Structure 1
């Protein structure tokens, strides 16, 4: 009550001051409204920007989710392809390993057979060499024996031939002497000397 009375009293006392206060309050209110409108406009702009940014972020997020989903799908596809390729390569490698193991086994068997055959041929060759050495030794012994025998026969034959030649020479000389004497006698009958002829 007292404040109302005071206000009334003040109003009553100074109406010009009251008008001035009202005008000041009005101007202040207009300024406050303008400020508030500016703030609201700024706030609206901020809200619009935030909404625009939020929309852009949602679009970006959707794009990122799509990319992520695509990358996951690509990753799954790559994993599937790699897994399939790995299984195929593993299967082929297993087949190749088995084939090579089989080839190695066959080659080992062939090698064992070849080594056995080589040992057999080596034994046969050694036996043949021993037989050849024995045959050569026997032949050399026979050659030595035959050489000795033929040398003896040759000496005997030469001795016999020498003896026969000696006998023949003696006979020839005897015949020659006889012939020469006959020749001299014939020449002397004709009055010739054998020494002059």
Structure 2
């Protein structure tokens, strides 16, 4: 009986031990499921983050590619416009130089004409002055002759009256 009681106690202890081990096993399984769920949830979150980052990267890469293409196109257009502007500038410079050359030629021609006119007027003035001098000389000579004749006539008249012209 004692052996049976000991054996029963031993079986009871072992039953308790088994129940404790089973409870621990159940608890460990539950904790393991929780950890697995957390791990699964973390993996899903990581996949979601990776997916979102990949999507953002692809979007940014697409936007960047589009921006690069747009900027390359803009650079190309600006280079073309620059080329056109430079060509127009060269054309304007050539036209301005031609206008300046024409203006300079016109100024030179007008200056030449002005110099010729000045020379012509100078000749005319000299000729006129020479002619006037000749006329004045001739007129002076005429007046002197007339004056001399008048003086002579007055001297003779004074002499006829008996007066000396030098005394008067």
Q: TM-score, normalised by structure 2?
A: 0.72
Relative distance call for 1:136 and 1:25 in structure 2 (3 A) is farther
The answer as to 2:42 corresponding to 1:46 is: yes
Structure 2 unaligned regions, length at least 5: 1-6, 162-168
CA apart distance, 1:78: 0.8
| Unmatched segments (≥5 aa) in structure 1 | 1-10, 167-197
Aligned-CA RMSD value: 3.0
Which protein has the larger Cα radius of gyration, Structure 1 or Structure 2? 1
Which residue pairs with 2:25 in the alignment?
Answer: 29
Aligned to 1:6: none
1:106 corresponds to 2:102: yes
Shift of 1:117: 2.2
In the aligned structure 1, how far is the partner of 2:149 from the partner of 2:28? 167
Aligned match of 1:20: 16
1:128-152 deviations in Å (ceiling 9; x for gaps)? 3333333333333333323323333
Highest relative contact order (Cα 8 Å, sep 6+), 1 or 2?
2
User: What is aligned with 1:193?
Assistant: none
User: What secondary structure sits across from 2:48 in the alignment?
Assistant: helix
* Cα drift, residue 13 of structure 1: 8.5
2:113 is aligned to 117
Give the structure 2 partner of residue 68 of structure 1.
64
Aligned length: 155
User: What is the TM-score of this pair, normalised by structure 1?
Assistant: 0.63
| Aligned pairs for 1:114-153 within 5 A | 114-153=110-149
